[in-house]
A and B are shown apart, each in its own frame.
Chain A
């Protein structure tokens, strides 16, 4: 499956300004979070992207992504009616095509030669259905993520066939419904923040919104699609930074710095700070 379109959600109350924050990349370049995402998206072969934004933030985004402006469509979500509703705003843009869905408050650092997104795209190229990037996550982080149950696809390391998706499950539910063979005890496959989705997801979102109205979440639609067709999840070799969490931005910056040319300098600064602030 060849993916040509991407959708980035940036309309949430906390997300409106985060994509505009600047960070220094591992190779020393200073750019906004949005630019980080878009650079990775377009480097993976995707041709156009839509960003779902909150009303009144168009100007900020336009300047933040100036470099890619010709390939970008900004779509306003007029009211905050749920994450699923934000995704649904991209329906005119995606049409019946499959698309990449990313969140503007997540940044990624790959452990492999390929970037995190390229790893996902490589898996997606081998299948026709939806694929979500996942990562084994400790149960204490369950309140933050959508979590899947699945079985490993024989012969394909890191690929799972998804049977169930639950948004922010309690560990009680996770233990009963979401245990995946092969994972360490107390760890579950949680969403990594990037998905390859298809029109079936959009169709289901549309139907749910028509039937139940707001708030419209994304996960129930993903779960319904997983029930109806083959839905895969792939483990990504990399780190995910949720910059919305307290110190999330700092953590992302440290991760990038320690993975790049300035590693020694940053470590020296950290040690110096630790010593100077000792209580």
Chain B
């Protein structure tokens, strides 16, 4: 039946939502449908049929089947299938998982594995098709055939070879960026454009830009320069990234992550100067350049984006790539004219090459991103593939869209001016990865989820109305429509199109401007970056500064909660009437931008004049002349001087603050030096985290756990309720970590992140946890005391935040427990990096991304060696150099820092603590579970859940015959983990007195705050627990929103290792998945919202 949703000629049936079709099917029927769909996708030779079937299968196994499966024993996921997934052998993985399903029956575990495998195969299939299409675009194909310099068919145009007094002419390409007036509802994703060309529509405006208050006036923000040089090399320079490289080997052109010049390299390749077909040929770059430009000659390519911040949502990178490609194509005669505008067919070719370049560079946006190549305002639409197109018979649409540039009859000058007069274009400061969003959009489109499908139709309707309003110059209506688009279709398709920051800005601007605020406009991708506010033109000047102030203030309040990459900025802009534009400067006028020279002239100045080539000498003369006569070069001498003799004062400023932080947070220098020594001598390391290979790891026996996976037994409910009513229970939420996976090491507090809208507002993790405790307390009588553990990184922001929100009006005791120990991160050893990258199973990426990763890893290994293995990691903000030392310490900290004493003073009757992770959103003080814990008399009751594919990092195991929680780091063999049925949720019910007894302490010691005794007690237990070495990723921010990610070494002791100690009794209960699952990655959010998890959490909460 479901196959007909894919194959039907009837559009209504084809566009029917999968969810609706699955609603009335039971598990057996769903499995039968899966069998049919799988057979169908294997047999079908139609790409889009195959892909849609794969998405259907993924959705059924992820969302529809698990809830309908009968209660059963936990299923296992075969390691062989997991290995296939990592190696991108998706078909093989599916076969392995299906064989297990066939043999052992369907289970939650195997469904999760199948869902992951189908999901990845679907995206792989789509990506392969886009790549094939990019290669088969006419004008691109030859580049993949050319494999020898002697076959190079391009030649540098003679105009560029004519020097004047040794000064070569400079070709300059200036390109506007693009803003997407209708947002497009992500319909410019290639997959959508190729499957649903009639729905792929965008109104896209080319604009010049200036940062308000910094730059004099708007100009095309993207510039590329090209000239012929008298050396057989490629010299690449990015002015904004302050990087330059001289490339003399062909292989280095294809090494994208070696430096920050990947975009320039992609342009050199995609323009055909170094065609992709020659990669790996081992030929000489000098020979290739000789063929192209003449013997002994080379090329220099320079990029500049005039310090426009990254993540602007204005497609700066893609337009820069297009500008670079355009310059290279002009220089090699692939365009008719060397200067001026491009013809329509040339623009299309630049677009095709930019898509190719993005693919080569391992990135990729939408097809509208090169919009700056075209002039003015244009409608970009998908096109149905015709018989002569390479896509014909494969996809409904063509890879490349059609551009219709509006003329002044269609959108008059007055309307264009009205738009400019009302729109305030800003960058909110957040730069986030939009990759997950694009995947979500594609998946939802292919599943035709009814609300989203309807929203897509509405967005198309809104586009027509927006164009109509624009052509009338009716900007007030336009503002209303862009707001409607943002509130309606965009958030229906992707709820994450907005966030707390954006909502706060809108409400503050609205408050300030009232009726003069005509509308909000979302600029694409994720929220918090590029956006627009449309105001009455009479208030625009006032609004420019006011909105900037509002953004700065709001960022100040939220910067510990949300990952900001930079301070917000407001832009001045103008509509660009030319699109990309080339010009040629010769003789003394053939100058490069002033900020280029300090980057490259250092070498020339250090070389004795007699050793300089005539070209270098001429360039020095030219620069010296420009410094005296050209106002643009007035600061150049000072800048050059600073570049030659860098000052060191800035560096000194940071050191004391790091030292201060270490001192303040209890850094133990002696222990640190011991760890370094052990690490360098090979006594500790990633490999040494593992238990001996002879350890016997098995799954636990059924009687090692109490199974409440269908919901807790009510046997001891009364006991639990009484304990709650008597105020004997408290909650500890672990909130000391930064949530590295949540923000990829951005160093903000995950606990404060307003991650989801519930009951009409964005809610933080802290608020959600408090809302659950509020509800349980409310039901039981006395409020439940709630503690949040914090660290050097999270304490102050959390304290200030809670103060700001007035503790969310939580009625009970609410305490923060600050951390008392800290580590200093180290540069990893090559041995550990190699172990992590070569010995541990790795997810193989797709071809280009894998190349990028390999290249990046080579660069990181080089960095490790140059920075010094196991040396202190100090080359970052001080806070980014410290690390928490593991969640084991968080409970001992309560004893040490007086928080428990404070609580015991308030609540002397306190007997039980429920400890849980910040991301275990389903954990609450469930009286039935509490009752079970109390009745069992156990010291520590750990909650575990049945395992899914994504639950990695350890679990409940029988280790040499003893059940305990085993960290993934300590598994002797990777595959051991796959034999385990249960995953550790970390939620632990603690009998306070038994725990104190373990430390050989009692309540009096705590209340007496005997720090010396308590410290000794903690050290004694800590000493008995293993120390793990881990690699973490840390972000280093620089420039204008640029970020680098470095691996660093740190150490930790973990809470779950208490189960190794025989002196305290540990038991394990299996809880329902909704209670125990963790939300670790923003990419999980959408599934979490769709699979009922969010609704479940909302049902546990009582908001203030």
Contacts and interface: CB of A to CB of B under 8 A. Distances in A.
B648 to A, nearest CB: 50
Interface in A146-177: 170-176
B332 interface: yes
Contact of A170 (B150, B151, B154): B154
Interface string B296-329: 0000000000000000000000000000000001
Interface in B118-146: 138-143, 145-146
B616 interface: no
A179 interface: yes
Given A140-B146, A176-B349, A171 B153 contact: yes
A76 interface: no
B333 interface: yes
Contact of A139 (B138, B142, B332): B142
Contacts of B153: 139-143, 170-171
B145 A173 contact: no
Interface string B969-1011: 0000000000000000000000000000000000000000000
B242 to A, nearest CB: 33
Contact of A175 (B139, B152, B155, B345): B139
Contacts of A143: 153-155
Contacts of B332: 170
B334 A186 contact: no
Given A171-B153, A176-B138, A176-B345, A139 B145 contact: yes
A185 interface: yes
Nearest to A142: B153
A110 to B, nearest CB: 27
A138 interface: yes
Given A170-B332, A170-B333, A172-B349, A179 B138 contact: yes
Contacts of B141: 175, 185-186
B939 interface: no
B272 interface: yes
Contact of B145 (A142, A174, A185): A185
B142 A172 contact: yes
Given A176-B139, A179-B138, A140 B334 contact: no
Interface string B146-165: 10001111110000000000
A141 to B, nearest CB: 8
A195 to B, nearest CB: 23
Contacts, number: 52
Contacts of A170: 153-154, 272, 332-334
A173 B152 CA distance: 15
Tell which of B151, B272, B345 has the most Cβ of chain A within 10 Å: B151
A163 B859 CA distance: 52
A138 B142 CA distance: 11
A172 B155 contact: no
A13 to B, nearest CB: 15
Given A185-B145, A186-B145, A172 B334 contact: yes
A142 B142 CA distance: 12
A173 B151 contact: no
Contacts of A176: 138-139, 345, 349
Interface in A116-146: 138-143
Nearest to A179: B138
A82 B332 CA distance: 22
Contacts of A138: 151
Interface of A is mostly: helix
Nearest to A138: B151
Tell which of A140, A141, A185, A186 has the most Cβ of chain B within 10 Å: A140
B142 to A, nearest CB: 4
Given A139-B145, A185-B145, A172 B151 contact: no
B353 to A, nearest CB: 9
A139 B143 CA distance: 11
Contacts of B150: 140
Interface in B786-802: none
B142 A186 contact: yes
Nearest to B348: A176
A175 B142 contact: yes
Tell which of A139, A172, A179 has the most Cβ of chain B within 10 Å: A172
A140 B154 CA distance: 8
Contacts of B140: 172, 175
Given A138-B151, A143-B155, A172 B272 contact: yes
B267 to A, nearest CB: 15
A171 B151 CA distance: 11
Contacts of B334: 170, 172-173
A185 B144 CA distance: 12
Interface string B329-348: 10011100000000001000
A251 to B, nearest CB: 15
Tell which of A171, A174, A179 has the most Cβ of chain B within 10 Å: A171
A152 to B, nearest CB: 16
A169 to B, nearest CB: 9
A172 B350 CA distance: 11
Contacts of A174: 142
Contacts of B143: 171
B138 A140 contact: no
Contacts of B329: 172
Contacts of B142: 139, 171-172, 174-175, 186
A172 B145 contact: no
A246 B815 CA distance: 86
A103 to B, nearest CB: 21
Nearest to B142: A171
A172 B146 contact: no
Contacts of A172: 139-140, 142, 272, 329, 334, 349
Interface in A181-205: 185-186
A35 B570 CA distance: 76
A17 to B, nearest CB: 24
A172 B329 CA distance: 10
A45 B399 CA distance: 54
A188 to B, nearest CB: 10
Nearest to B143: A171
B151 A175 contact: no
A204 B272 CA distance: 35
A140 B272 contact: no
A138 B153 CA distance: 10
Nearest to B275: A171
A112 to B, nearest CB: 29
Tell which of A143, A170, A175, A176 has the most Cβ of chain B within 10 Å: A170
Contacts of A179: 138
A138 B150 CA distance: 12
A82 to B, nearest CB: 15
Contacts of A139: 142, 145-146, 151, 153
Contacts of B155: 143
A175 B141 CA distance: 8
9 contacts: A138-B151, A139-B153, A170-B272, A174-B142, A175-B140, A176-B139, A176-B345, A179-B138, A185-B145
- Closest 5 pairs between A and B when the two form their complex, measured CB to CB: A140-B151, A171-B142, A172-B334, A172-B139, A175-B138
Given A172-B334, A175-B140, 14 more contacts: A139-B145, A140-B153, A141-B153, A143-B154, A143-B155, A170-B334, A171-B153, A172-B140, A172-B272, A172-B329, A176-B345, A176-B349, A185-B141, A186-B141
Interface of B: 138-143, 145-146, 150-155, 272, 329, 332-334, 345, 349
